[in-house]
């Protein structure tokens, strides 16, 4: 004879009224969130490593091309820190897009070379695509992120 369910008896760890399927769905969502967070951290780490490598290459290239040595590199590091502080002030005052554009314009003026944003063409295309669908973006970064998320569909 089958036993009767006792009132108030439920699986351990489940809130009242929750089913085992609810628990499995919750566990799956938690695993997905943890994985997404781990992926974000991994991408940030890889980006930081590549950025550091580019700085090393710039230092080596400046030494080989112009003979810049330790004293001038110390001065370079001080100026770089000052520019980082200036960028932070610009970003706080007008946002990151404003700060990025100001630095891009300054670099373009100094080098005499037309400087574009990385993936500028793709960003503009993504913006056009999403605006045609009725989605608007406040900045270029949002459009790039949205294109990365939606673009695979």
Q: How many helices (DSSP H) and strands (DSSP E) are in the chain?
A: 5, 0
Is 23 in contact with 11 (CB distance < 8 Å)?
yes
Distance CA 69, CA 60 (A): 10
Positive or negative, the Cα torsion across 111, 113, 114, 115? negative
Say how far apart CA 36 and CA 71 lie, in whole Å: 44
Query: Residue 106: which residues within 8 A CB-CB, separation 6 or more?
Result: none
Mean pLDDT of the chain: 80
pLDDT tens by residue, 14-41: 677 778 788 788 888 888 887 877 778 8
Question: Which pLDDT belongs to residue 153?
Answer: 41
pLDDT at position 137, please?
A: 58
- Determine contact, residues 98/88, Cβ cutoff 8 Å: no
**pLDDT tens sequence across 93-128:** 999 989 999 999 999 999 999 988 877 777 778 778
């Amino acid at each position: 004879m089958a036993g009767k369910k006792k009132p108030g008896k439920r699986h351990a760890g489940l809130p009242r009224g929750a089913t085992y399927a609810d628990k499995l769905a919750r566990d799956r969502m938690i695993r997905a969130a943890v994985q997404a967070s781990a992926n974000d951290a991994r991408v940030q780490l890889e980006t930081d490593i590549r950025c550091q490598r580019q700085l090393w290459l710039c230092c080596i290239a400046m030494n080989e091309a112009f003979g810049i040595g330790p004293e001038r590199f110390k001065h370079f590091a001080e100026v770089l820190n000052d520019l980082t502080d200036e960028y932070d002030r610009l970003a706080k005052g007008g946002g990151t897009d404003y700060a990025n554009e100001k630095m891009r314009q300054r670099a373009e003026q100094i080098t005499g070379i037309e400087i574009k944003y990385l993936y500028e063409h793709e960003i503009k295309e993504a913006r056009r695509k999403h605006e045609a669908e009725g989605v608007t973006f406040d900045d270029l970064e949002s459009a790039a992120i949205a294109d990365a998320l939606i673009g695979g569909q």
